[in-house]
């Protein structure tokens, strides 16, 4: 992988899987938006950025320092996804799903933001989830100027903790507002340490998260996979239920993928939601 810095962008040339559209639209994140020129602008880890790709070169706005401090970890660039993709292709279906999803990477996102975002995701569709997250950020986040426009960071748990559900009314998150505030209080008070959960087992992390109100197995698994860096988490939502009943009618155990179960899940999910197996 070659890396250099030029014109306010870090340029990174790699043979590994890296497809912007699949990474940002496979359902793991909510704050990256495609621009007319097919680049993406988003806010993550307290900063705004533009990212694009031409050929095998990825362009990420910012300095080499930004890259080392934030984006290298965020985009999980020290992991070889081509090799992982081969490892999860354990049967014909998974070969198809992983081929179809080639280019997906699992992001290492901010833990609190991910927890809050997936609380919001329950029983919601993606446009509305994105809308609620944007309104929450605009209302309580910090202003960020980028390319002449204003963006907003995702507000910290310390900012949300003292609020009431009435304070969150403008974001129109409905009954999830109470869950958001309770989660913020647990994180802010130290009652739950998301950082420490990162180092624990899947089972322990899941139990700790599910002790919070409004967090069940599915949301817990999403938080664990997308921000706690525990790669064996395997979120099962309605799309995954369909995929499993269609392709594994006689039983299914994510354990067959070992530590790579989470990535396998992303391929299955993306394939299913894109109608991959039905209209190739």
- 59 versus 239: smaller Cβ distance to DNA: 239
* Structure token pair of residue 178: 């109470």
Contact of 10 with 17, CB cutoff 8 Å: no
Q: Which of 122, 193, 198, 274 binds DNA (CB under 7 A)?
A: 122
Contact of 230 with 224, CB cutoff 8 Å: yes
Q: Which of 22, 53, 218, 241 is catalytic?
A: 218
Site for DNA in 243-272 (CB under 7 A): 269
- 78 versus 253: smaller Cβ distance to DNA: 253
Based on the residue annotation, tell me whether 95 is a catalytic residue of this protein.
Answer: no
Considering the complex, what minimum distance in angstroms separates the CB of residue 77 from DNA? 22
Site for DNA in 99-118 (CB under 7 A): none
Distance CA 210, CA 205 (A): 9
Backbone angles phi, psi at 202, to 5 degrees: -55, -45
Say whether 6 sits in a helix, a strand or coil. strand
Distance CA 280, CA 272 (A): 11
Which of these ranges, 36-44, 51-59, 60-68, 211-219, lies near DNA under the rule CB under 7 A? 211-219
- 12 versus 215: smaller Cβ distance to DNA: 215
The contacts of residue 76 (CB under 8 Å, 6+ apart) are 105, 106, 107, 108
Site for DNA in 27-86 (CB under 7 A): 27-28
Backbone angles phi, psi at 277, to 5 degrees: -70, -25
β-pair partners for 50: 41
- 27 versus 231: smaller Cβ distance to DNA: 27
Site for DNA in 173-192 (CB under 7 A): 173-176
- 42 versus 214: smaller Cβ distance to DNA: 214
Q: What b/e sequence results for 227-259 when a residue is b if at least 16 CB atoms lie within 10 Å of its CB, and e otherwise?
A: bbbbbbbbbbbebbeebbeebeeeeeebeebee
Considering the complex, what minimum distance in angstroms separates the CB of residue 55 from DNA? 28
Which residue shows structure tokens 């599915």?
218
Q: Which of 43, 116, 222, 268 binds DNA (CB under 7 A)?
A: 222
**Residue 213 touching DNA (CB under 7 A):** yes
**Residue 276 touching DNA (CB under 7 A):** no
Distance CA 251, CA 8 (A): 51
Which of these ranges, 4-12, 50-58, 84-92, 234-242, lies near DNA under the rule CB under 7 A? 234-242
**Residue 121 touching DNA (CB under 7 A):** yes
Active site residues: 218
Residues engaged in binding DNA (CB under 7 A): 27-28, 121-129, 169, 172-176, 210, 213-220, 222, 235, 237-239, 269
């Amino acid at each position: 992988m070659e890396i250099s810095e030029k014109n306010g962008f870090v340029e990174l040339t790699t043979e590994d899987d890296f497809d912007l559209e699949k990474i940002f639209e496979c359902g793991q994140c909510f704050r990256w938006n495609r621009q007319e020129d097919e680049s993406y602008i988003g806010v993550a880890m307290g900063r705004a950025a533009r990212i694009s790709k031409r050929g095998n070169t990825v362009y990420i706005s910012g300095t080499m320092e930004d890259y080392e401090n934030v984006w290298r970890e965020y985009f999980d660039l020290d992991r070889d996804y081509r090799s992982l993709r081969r490892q999860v292709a354990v049967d014909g279906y998974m070969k198809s799903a992983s081929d179809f999803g080639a280019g997906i990477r699992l992001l290492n996102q901010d833990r609190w933001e991910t927890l809050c975002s997936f609380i919001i995701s329950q029983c919601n569709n993606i446009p509305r989830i994105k809308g609620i997250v944007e309104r929450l950020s605009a209302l309580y986040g910090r202003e960020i100027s980028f390319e002449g426009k204003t963006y907003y960071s995702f507000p910290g748990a310390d900012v949300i903790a003292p609020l009431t559900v009435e304070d969150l009314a403008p974001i129109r998150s409905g009954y999830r507002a109470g869950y958001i505030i309770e989660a913020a209080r647990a994180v802010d008070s130290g009652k739950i340490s998301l950082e420490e959960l990162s180092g624990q087992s899947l089972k322990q992390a899941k139990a700790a998260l599910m002790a919070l109100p409004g967090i069940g197995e599915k949301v817990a698994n999403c938080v664990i996979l997308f921000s706690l860096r525990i790669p064996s988490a395997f979120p099962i939502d309605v799309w995954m239920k369909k995929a499993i009943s269609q392709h594994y009618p006689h039983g299914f155990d994510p354990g067959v993928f070992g530590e790579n179960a989470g990535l396998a899940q992303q391929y299955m999910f993306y394939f299913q939601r894109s109608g991959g197996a039905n209209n190739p």
